[in-house]
Amino acid sequence: MLLTGGQILIEALKEQGVDTIFGYPGGTVLPIYDALYDSDITHILTRHEQAAAHAADGYARATGRPGVCLATSGPGATNLVTGLATAMMDSVPMVAFTGQVPTGLLGRDSFQEADITGITMPITKHNFLVRDINDLARTIKEAFHIATTGRPGPVLVDIPRDVSGGKTEYRDPGPVFKRGYQPRMEAKPELVLAAAKAIAAARRPVIYAGGGIVNSGASPELQRLAGLIMAPVATTLMGLGGFPGDHALSVGMLGMHGSKYANYAVYESDLLIAVGVRFDDRVTGKVESFAPDAKVIHIDIDPAEMGKNVRVDIPIAGDVKTVLGQILDVLEARPDPHWDEKVQAWKREYPLDFRKEGMKPQAIIREICDMTEGKSRITTEVGQNQMWTAQYYTFTQPRSFITSGGLGTMGYGFPAAIGVQIGCPDELVFDIAGDGSIQMNIQELATAVNYELPVNVAILNNSFLGMVRQWQELFYERRYSHTELKNPEFVKVAEAYGAEGIKITQNAEIRPALEQAIASSKPVFLDFVIDREENVMPMVPPGEAINKMLG
């Protein structure tokens, strides 16, 4: 039986277990949309292609399954770029399909032609241009294999109009084998023994855990290791939830806006066990002064990260869950109780806290955490809202915190929350947003209303681009150049789309407003009018060591 390329795509997606596509139609993908018309795959029509990419990204992070998005050629495809770069930086498994002009028109500056494979080469794990319909099924299978194995990441498949509209027999392409792509899962035994020996000898070990813990499902192994050696666990922004935030050994986030006690512990450590991390500059600060007396063990699925940013003594390439299991099998630990006592003393001496007068964003986030018992799915935008959430919401479960870490994409949180709600329909979802970033994809209110998604958006409204303003205050003598915002009435905007809106200006209104939002079956915009010049503290100034914090 002959099938169109569009029908072959649908069959291949079903074989991969895909149940949802986020997309926006256009001329070159009409054969695909025609095939979707009779398909049992759910299609979520976003109002912008960038939002489709972010929604697919949020879906993937929340569920652990690859997210899928679909856009037409030219501007539709280029509108995916920010979402692809976001997923690439944070190692998110995603497959993006784009339409393309017919193969005979490639390279002729045809209407709505863009070299999307060339454009996205630096921001995808891999990409494909399918020139022959007979290669389509195999290409799709390879795309999902590459996106979900090794270090996860986005893969793009560009499909010309004559490929999606042509016809051929559909054949199962069989198992995928890529000769040059064989990710290592297990660590070399000699490196495992070296790591176990270094851990047993350490007196002041610290575990520095990142998004690789979440991606590999290694939270149980991480907790076992921390308990066995009595080591404090500092997490990156992407690692939050990978180790329970309410655990006695948790010191929360480290780095530029990390806790003082996390940064002090790392600075004074004699062994740093870095697990599923890439030593980002927002974590390390001044590299020469990052854990200056520590031997470094680095465990990561991507060997390219070893020694890229800091010196590593024991580099171990492999799947984090597998490697931690190997180490635990041979480890004979001798923890030093004095180290734990010192770390606990820092936690008591330097707690995360804030002044209670006025409308404080920290208090709002703590209230959301208390009311949801730390069990809701939280997305954020980027900026102060993101850092306050990382500091004051206690994440206890993997995949409960969804945010743009590496790229820092404003406008990410709301469409990502839509993807999270689609992937986790029975769970409570909050997007904690700034008044600047929420306006970058505010049109997705139409998507949330159309699909009856009860996403709650807590807008921390200070009428500023808050994080940029904070830097202008601290380092540019309060010269607030183009960071003050004249905002719309967010309640009216929400109501215009058919959602609910609530404006909150007093502390006494916070809890009743949250109760109303949680009880609603509609999307809700919560407009919290907060103190305008509240800052995210503590803060490591740019170029300083992580133990030199302001606030």
Q: How far apart are the first and last CA of the chain?
A: 69
Q: Which of 402, 385, 316, 321 is nearest to 534 (CA)?
A: 385
Which tokens in the block code for residue 332? 């004979």
Which tokens in the block code for residue 372? 């949801």
* 189-349 and 2-169 share a CATH fold: yes
Rounded-to-integer distance, Cα 199 and Cα 51, Å: 44
Rounded-to-integer distance, Cα 415 and Cα 411, Å: 8
Largest CA distance in the chain: 72
CATH fold group of domain 361-529: Rossmann fold (3.40.50)
Distance (Å) of CA 530 to CA 161, 232, 277, 512: 50, 34, 34, 17
Phi and psi based region of residue 64 (left: phi greater than 0; alpha: psi -120 to 50; beta: remaining): left
Q: What is the pLDDT of residue 1?
A: 86
CATH fold group of domain 2-169: Rossmann fold (3.40.50)
Rounded-to-integer distance, Cα 234 and Cα 328, Å: 19
Q: Are 55 and 80 in contact (CB under 8 A)?
A: no
Residues in CB range of 534: below 8 A, 6 or more apart: 354, 358, 360, 361, 362, 384, 462
3-state secondary structure of 341: helix
Rounded-to-integer distance, Cα 49 and Cα 75, Å: 9
Residue labelled with tokens 């054969």: 31
Rounded-to-integer distance, Cα 32 and Cα 37, Å: 9
Q: What is the pLDDT of residue 23?
A: 98
Domain 189-349: which CATH number of 3.40.50.1220, 3.40.1160.10, 3.50.50.60, 3.40.50.150:
3.40.50.1220
Going from N- to C-terminal start, the domains of the chain cover 2-169, 189-349, 361-529
Q: What is the pLDDT of residue 374?
A: 83
Residue numbers in the chain where pLDDT is lower than 50: none
Residues in CB range of 80: below 8 A, 6 or more apart: 49, 50, 52, 53, 69, 71, 96, 98, 116, 120, 156
